[in-house]
Structure 1
Amino acid sequence: MSAPAISRTPPAQHEAPPARVPRKRSASAAATSLFLWGYAAIAVLPLLVMVVNSLRTTREMAADPLGLPADPNFASYSKAWVQASFGTFFTNSLLVTVSSVVLSTTVSLLAAYALARSRSRITSVIEAVFLSGLMLPVYLAILPVFYLLDGMGLVDSKIGLILVYAALSVPFSVFVLTSFFRQLPEELEEAARIDGAGSIRMFWNIMLPLVRPAIATVIVFRFVPIWNDFFYPLVLLRSRENYTLPVGLTTFFGEYQTDWPTLFAGLVIATLPLVILFLVATRQIVAGLTAGMSK
């Protein structure tokens, strides 16, 4: 008799049922998402009203303040840019803000890298000096700053305003960038030195790309307050052709207080760079703020 055939088919394996998300957790996530979307809608609504009203006429706004434009008209933008000197204010703000941020970020990168890699005892003293700039209200220094710039002949000068903003931005930038440089392993620099890379090449080609999220965070967090600052331009600038947007808006509102479409067009022009900046740098900002939270 032949032996019975032995089945070589492996026993069926029972697949584990998919894990179910607890109802409490899913409900909490849905409530959180709903709250965030509602908050976003509330935050965006004034911007939409501002843009829509800039495309309407004064008569339409008087009849229906929250209505839609019957015939969208971009003439208010041309009027705000040319007749109201908004183009000059915008150019001055862009020049002052970009120059200040670039200058302060460049200086802060070099200082932060040196502080993060130095082993000297004086490093802690220098770092404490930088941190002290975050503890003192910047507006308390307006008199010394004014007399200093007056002695240098830089009052009513965009160069003087750029230097002031750059100096005020350095403490915060150094504080943020130093913490990022300290998180980078020193083995990267040792490997670069073995390959024959010099200090400048190592800093430019290796260190800077690794701290890109921190650089984006510093740029955004310094660009916004400088762009919106009203105090220092009001004190340090005297001629209309040197006014930045916040100071220019005061004269703008006085001259065009009854021309609502032009006022809204000016506000849209003043807000647009900030919106573009956040849209472009959002991913880098999130990466910079969350760096170091997980290993």
Structure 2
Amino acid sequence: MPSSSYAAPAAAARPTLVQRSFGPAGHLWVHFVLCIYAVIALFPIALILINSVKTRNAIFEGPMALPTAETLTLVGFQKVLSGTHFLLYFGNSLVVTVGALVLIVLFGAMAGWALSEYKFPGNRFLNFFIAIGIMIPIRLGTVSILQLIVALDLINTRTALILVYTAQGLPLAVMILSEFIRQIPTELKDAARCDGVGEIAIFFQVILPLIRPAIATVAVFTMIPAWNDLWFPLILAPGEDTRTVTLGVQQFIGQYATDWNSVLAALSMAVIPILLLYVAFSRQLIRGLTSGAVK
């Protein structure tokens, strides 16, 4: 019998890294720990969704209890959708987050391509400068950013938020994307150049399709802080027409009383885009996080 017939069983019987490290039951233990972590991570979201459809008294009497026929109510969603401009706030958050995300991915990939492909004076300095941008919080420059936005006459505009979030997410995007671009075989780029393909076409037709896992990783890591941010919308765009979701939720929180039905209903609707993003890019995200782990 040919030796190739034994290759598949041998590969299937080969122990995994977990089994070699923890023994035969190692994979069960790892899955158990991951399931516990998943429950802990999803518990706050489930708690918000459950209590968003319960009466105020039921929320305080049994916050972890499921809604019943007596406690089930949609009054919070009715107040949010009919009594406020929540859809406008939702649209503002969507425009700001998607706009910043597109600019971050585009400029981050272009910068990563330039820093990883071309050697020029100042290359190392730019890499070091970008790394500093990851370590220093952008909120430390809030006063200077506010002065610049006022000077540009962009106060109370969504453009101001898009520019700030783009600057906030670019350092991490450049670092992640440049590392992925460095792993692309040089032969692919050289073959495209031999065929007469220009550098711009190589970037859009060869590089971008190959770094989709990295783009998904960058998208998740940059969208969540922008969508959930309260600091810059409160300072740069507090107007009624430019409020984001997180800023709009604050109107239900008072100094002496809080409308928890409306707060939880608004948070439930605000968390939907994040969940949809993860569902859409979960496979690419996992590939991006684990790429290079076995090399």
* TM-score normalised by structure 2 residue count: 0.85
- Whichever residue aligns with residue 273 of structure 2, its letter is P
Match of residue 130 from structure 2? 130
- Whichever residue aligns with residue 170 of structure 1, its letter is L
Which range is displaced more, 268-277 or 211-220?
268-277
Query: Does the CA-based 8 Å contact 1:101-1:219 persist in structure 2?
Result: yes
Structure 1 residue 208: deviation in Å? 0.8
Match of residue 161 from structure 1? 161
- Whichever residue aligns with residue 197 of structure 1, its letter is V
Distance 1:242 1:187, change over 3 A: same
Which range is displaced more, 264-273 or 214-223?
264-273
Distance 1:167 1:42, change over 3 A: closer
Superposed CA offset, 1:227-277 (max 9, x none): 111111111123122111222222122399554333221110121211221
Structure 1 residue 101: deviation in Å? 1.1
Matching residue within 45, 48, 54 for 2:46: 48
Query: Does the CA-based 8 Å contact 1:84-1:252 persist in structure 2?
Result: no
Residue 245 (str. 1) matches residue 218 (str. 2): no
- Whichever residue aligns with residue 168 of structure 1, its letter is Q
**SS of corresponding position for 1:26:** coil
Task: State which structure, 1 or 2, has the greater radius of gyration over its C-alpha atoms.
Answer: 1
Structure 1 residue 32: deviation in Å? 2.6
- Whichever residue aligns with residue 238 of structure 1, its letter is P
Superposed CA offset, 1:125-161 (max 9, x none): 2222222222322111111111111111111211111
Residue 38 (str. 1) matches residue 36 (str. 2): yes
Q: Which aligned pairs between 1:1-295 and structure 2 lie closer than 5 A? A: 25-61=23-59, 64-71=62-69, 72-254=72-254, 257=257, 259-295=259-295
Query: Does the CA-based 8 Å contact 2:47-2:63 persist in structure 1?
Result: no
CA distance in 2, matches of 1:36, 1:284: 19
Distance 1:131 1:19, change over 3 A: closer
Which range is displaced more, 262-271 or 78-87?
78-87
Superposed CA offset, 1:176-206 (max 9, x none): 1111111111111111122232222221111
For structure 2, which runs of at least 5 residues remain unmatched after alignment? Answer: 1-9
Distance 1:85 1:39, change over 3 A: same
CA distance in 2, matches of 1:247, 1:190: 50
**SS of corresponding position for 2:23:** helix
For structure 1, which runs of at least 5 residues remain unmatched after alignment? Answer: 1-15
Which range is displaced more, 238-247 or 141-150?
238-247
- Whichever residue aligns with residue 285 of structure 1, its letter is L
Query: Does the CA-based 8 Å contact 2:252-2:262 persist in structure 1?
Result: no
* CA-atom RMSD in angstroms: 2.7
Distance 1:67 1:238, change over 3 A: closer
CA distance in 2, matches of 1:65, 1:135: 38
